[in-house]
Amino acid sequence: MYKSITVLNAAEHSDFRFTPAGDLKFAKDMNVIPITFSEVQKLCCDFPIVYLGGETPSIVVVVGFDEEGKNLAIDEEGRWRGEYVPAFLRRYPFVMVKTGEDEMSLGVDLQSGCFSNPEGEALFGEDGTPTEKLSGIGKFLQNLEGEFATTRALVAELEKAEVLKERVLSIGEGEDARKIGGFKSVEHSALTALGDEKLAGWARSGLLELIALQQFSIKNFRKLIEIENAGRS
């Protein structure tokens, strides 16, 4: 999605003027989109949501099946097929970049085409300080980074409790049957085997609600297949 990320600074980019992307075609090749724990409720009715493990545990919304990437959640005009657009997409072309051991800076994709319109909004004032627009973007991204950190911690907790299991779904029958794998979901038997104290803690923290919403979203794999089939007809 990002092609050329450069850290913003007033000395080099004082004349930058920003115009938001007019559509979401920049994400048309993505088949999974990272989301935060707070976005699960907003997306669970539209698309399937799953967990990914590994060194950077995460929650993602599945929007396609093509290994080369084809985002079925974005229509031909670049519009999102749903009411809520994930923050991961809404932040584009901005992104937080690690510039030190404990330092993050604001970066931009210079190839986004969002900085070529002279009628766009200024990012820096005449004195080199960030404009209200840029400050707002920076705050949004910092808050988003915090939510992603919390999300990673929540998924790591699920993995530590050994309730996440690799899943393979079979949707359809006969020649039209399709197997979908490569993701993790909570195993019900592993969840119910946990102690009452652990489950009570998860209930208070909202983790049980997150688990329920994610499991509810799995039915939307069928919806994605219907969108894919409609595009082929």
HEC string for 137-189: HHHHHHHHHHHHHHHHHHHHHHHHCCCEEEEEEEECCHHHCEEEEEEEEECHH
13 closest CA partner among 118, 140, 128, 120: 128
Q: Residue 54's pLDDT is what? A: 79
DSSP state letter for 200: H
Alpha carbon 195 to its chain's center = 32
Q: Residue 231's pLDDT is what? A: 77
Q: Residue 168's pLDDT is what? A: 85
Positive or negative, the Cα torsion across 202, 83, 216, 170?
Answer: negative
Instruction: Mark out the alpha helices in the chain (DSSP H runs).
Output: 10-13, 40-43, 87-90, 132-160, 188-192, 196-205, 207-217, 220-232
Establish whether the linkage from the previous residue to 86 is cis, with ω within 30° of 0: no
Q: Residue 66's pLDDT is what? A: 73
Q: What is the pLDDT along the chain (233 residues), one digit of tens a residue?
A: 899 899 999 989 988 899 999 999 999 999 999 999 999 999 999 999 999 987 889 999 999 987 666 899 999 999 999 999 999 999 999 999 988 888 899 999 989 999 988 899 999 998 999 999 999 999 999 999 999 999 999 999 999 999 999 988 877 667 767 778 888 999 999 999 999 999 999 999 999 999 999 999 999 998 998 898 887 76
Cα separation of 190 and 195, whole Å? Answer: 11
The pair of structure tokens assigned to 203 is: 């209930």
Q: Residue 172's pLDDT is what? A: 67
Q: Residue 233's pLDDT is what? A: 63
Number of domains making up the chain = 1
74 closest CA partner among 86, 56, 59: 86
208 closest CA partner among 161, 170, 140, 173: 161
Q: Residue 180's pLDDT is what? A: 80
Structural domain of 37: 5-232
